[in-house]
Amino acid sequence: MFAGPAAILFCAVVIVPFIYGLYLTLTNWDGISNHKPFVGLSNYRQAFADTAYWQAMGRTVIYSVISVILVNVVAFLLAYLVTSGIKGQNFFRAAFFIPNLIGGIVLGYVWKFVFNRAFVAIGEAVTSHTTSSLLSTPNGAMFCLILVSVWQYAGYMMLIYVAGFMSVDQSLKEAAEIDGCSKAQAMVKVTIPLMRSSFVQCIFLSTTRCFMVYDLNLSLTKGEPFNSSVMAAMHVYNKAFVYKNYGVGQSEALLLFVVCAVIGLLQVYFGKKGEVDA
């Protein structure tokens, strides 16, 4: 009885749709009629042949890899700075977290204004002739997406790294320094290995978030210019709800799930393997 309500809601919105979704991939449903013609594996065949989908997937991988690396580098440096014992470090921690309070939709529009107006105004002031927005070229749009993601997630991952820094016993680092380690050596050889779990967590958290990016993609670039910035999640959404191709859309979503499941399993594997004890 205690677990009942949670179990019912969980099954109703996660388990049942998931299983029903598996069935939908085998049908050729148009989204309206009650009739769902059974078509076997043809949706999967179409999904594998859908070049736009694989392009979006490849783009998402590139975007995620670059973003994850930059997010974690920036977050780690920020965490290092705000744990160095300076005055007001709690204020800085709280302030760098602010972008995470606001949803991707609103942030995307804020940055759209920054890229389209402020950056253009700066560009024109510096070069003294008309400049076009970064968002109007494919590479520029990708750059913008990465920049905003790094800006947003760095504050969140920073907090995880801060927790990691604080969990490392100061005396170990001091002992290393007394034994003749330089500060940098102590960092690389003592502190960072002891923070392994923070790294695993941050890298996987930022990977899944980047891989599933949708809100920011929708508000910042809307897939433009010329569909060159459509990420995997947006492609799946459009396939199903815009082009009403539910069967193929659902099959492509399921392929996305496979990728996520692999990432999840890797996290468990790396999380358990080689945990360092102090």
In the complex, the smallest distance separating the C-beta of residue 202 from other proteins, rounded to whole angstroms, is 8
**Which of 52, 65, 81, 278 is close enough to bind other proteins by CB under 8 A?**
81
Q: Is 236 in the site for other proteins (CB under 8 A)?
A: yes
**Which of 149, 207, 219, 229 is close enough to bind other proteins by CB under 8 A?**
219
Would you say 69 or 261 has its CB closer to other proteins?
261
Residue with tokens 């990691």: 164
In the complex, the smallest distance separating the C-beta of residue 142 from other proteins, rounded to whole angstroms, is 19
d(CA 37, CA 24): 10
Which candidate, 263, 212, 208, 206, places its Cα nearest to that of 235? 212
- Of the candidate spans 4-12, 48-56, 138-146, 188-196, the one that interacts with other proteins by CB under 8 A turns out to be 4-12
Which candidate, 150, 148, 161, places its Cα nearest to that of 202? 161
Which candidate, 253, 220, 232, 234, places its Cα nearest to that of 146? 220
**Which of 39, 55, 61, 97 is close enough to bind other proteins by CB under 8 A?**
97
Count the site residues for other proteins by CB under 8 A: 84
Q: Is 105 in the site for other proteins (CB under 8 A)?
A: yes
Exposure of 202 by Cβ count < 10 A (0-12 exposed, 13-18 middle, 19+ buried)? Answer: buried
Q: Is 180 in the site for other proteins (CB under 8 A)?
A: no
Task: Report the site for other proteins in 36-75 (rule: CB under 8 A).
Answer: none
Record the tokens describing residue 250, joined without a space: 């659902």
- Of the candidate spans 37-45, 76-84, 133-141, 186-194, the one that interacts with other proteins by CB under 8 A turns out to be 76-84
Q: What is the CA radius of gyration of the chain?
A: 23
Residue with tokens 């969140």: 156
Record the tokens describing residue 212, joined without a space: 């599933």
In the complex, the smallest distance separating the C-beta of residue 212 from other proteins, rounded to whole angstroms, is 5
